[in-house]
Amino acid sequence: MFDKWQQWDVNPIPEGRYNIKRVKGELPEMESTKQLVKLIAGIYQPNMKVLDVGCNVGHYLSGIRKKFPNLDYTGVDAYDYYIDSAQQAFANDPLAKFAVKDIFKSLFPKNKFDIVYCCNVLLHLPDFRKPITNLLESTKKVCFVRTLLSDHTNIVKSPTEEEYDEDGNPLNYWYFNTWNKNYFIDFIEKLGWKTELIPDEFDPTTIQKEFENIKTDNEDKGTRVINNIQVIENVLCNWVWAKITPHQ
């Protein structure tokens, strides 16, 4: 039985259909992929192992491969549909491995990765603390997290349909949570790690064109741009990259 917020378990196709087109080269890579590649390039050395948590269909790997054709990559996601799609898409890539893993459970505690990244996942979870703990448990050198952080915490349940229980709670919904950045950093500090926040970089014109011209239905519209700020439905997206490294 899935939790009410786990809509990807019920209907994984909307979230994956545009991403698989990116893998196939039918759509351009995401703006966040471009920045992730730059972040990895700043620390990557030959023979490092990379873990992608919440990999979906492996679309970030497509951008990474252009810069690092020999990078040792492992992608994990909680949902079979995405992992099956990724394995098919990268069947001819001997350095890419995929597995079903739940971010709320221990990932690879005995097999740490030099670089771990988790992009656009934490905002969709009911809490970030256990997932962050599990990410860092598998990290040797650096963990990159892209999520929504600001001066205030906002817990947002966005209904996927207009059906509610007797208390007015949506029966099925997505989370679009923004966490207080100081609370986020303090939690990581208590785990023995330090955090550097890096501003999100994106071309607003590219994102708006995709919203208007490619994602033409209401099932997965993605983000639009208003006054140079990304917006998902009615949520202002304070995207931030957290670079998390162990205290020396």
Q: Would you say residue 220 lies in a domain?
A: no
Tokens linked to 181 = 């950045």
142 inside domain: yes
Helical spans, DSSP H, in the chain: 7-10, 13-23, 31-41, 59-67, 80-89, 129-137, 181-190, 204-213
- Does residue 158 lie in a domain region? yes
- Tokens 């020396």 identify what position? 248
Which of 153, 126, 145, 122 minimizes the C-alpha distance to 195? 145
**Whole domain around residue 117: which residue ranges?**
7-204+239-246
pLDDT string in tens for the chain (248-residue length): 457 788 888 788 777 888 999 999 998 999 999 999 999 999 999 999 999 999 999 999 999 999 999 999 999 999 999 999 999 999 999 999 999 999 999 999 888 999 999 999 999 999 999 999 999 999 999 999 999 999 999 999 999 889 999 999 999 899 999 999 999 999 999 999 999 999 999 999 999 998 988 887 766 778 999 999 999 988 999 999 999 999 87
- Cα(126)–Cα(176) distance, rounded to whole angstroms? 9
Task: Answer yes or no: is 160 within a domain.
Answer: yes
Our count of domains for the chain comes to 1
Per-residue confidence (pLDDT) for residue 219, from 0 to 100: 67
pTM confidence score: 0.95
Task: Classify residue 198: in a domain, yes or no.
Answer: yes
Q: Is residue 83 part of a domain?
A: yes
- Establish if 216 belongs to a structural domain: no
Predicted local confidence at residue 10, as pLDDT: 78
CATH code, 149: 3.40.50.150
Strand 173-175, strand 239-246: pairing = unpaired
Residue 164: strand, helix, or coil? strand
Q: pLDDT at position 199, please?
A: 97
> Looking at the domain assignment, is residue 26 inside a domain?
yes
